Amino acid sequence: MDPIAEAWLSSIIGVFGIISAYLVFSKIFDKKTGLIAAFFYATSFMVVRNDREAVMTMPVIIWSTWFLYALFLILKNKQKIAFILLGILLGLIWHLNMALAVTTPLLFWPC
């Protein structure tokens, strides 16, 4: 029940969110877009406010970013990596927010 531990965990998840935004958007588009996405993630008032709370919905934006990357991998015919990532992400739905299950029909959308 140490309040400092909560601050450290929120900071680590926030930094992971910035790195995730950069990695995903730089792989989907280019490095300049990745830097812009990381900048917006790091400076957005709502994202910073969300990252400061210690609730289970805190990593939902990070989850959504990696879900977008998994859908991108499916469209690029890299199903093996995509399905491993999707398995991890779908397993995290039970721990983060059950409302994320609404996005699973996107996996079966005809391309």
- Tens digits of residue pLDDT in 48-71: 888 877 777 778 889 999 999 999
E strand map for 2-110: none
- Could you tell me which residues come within 8 angstroms of residue 90 by beta carbon, excluding any fewer than 6 positions away? 104
Mean pLDDT, residues 77-97 taken together: 89
Please determine, for residue 110, whether its predicted confidence score (pLDDT) is greater than 80: no
Which DSSP category does 102 fall into? Answer: G
Q: Distance between terminal CA atoms of the chain? A: 48
- Domain extents for the chain? 3-108
CB distance 20 to 66 below 8 Å: yes
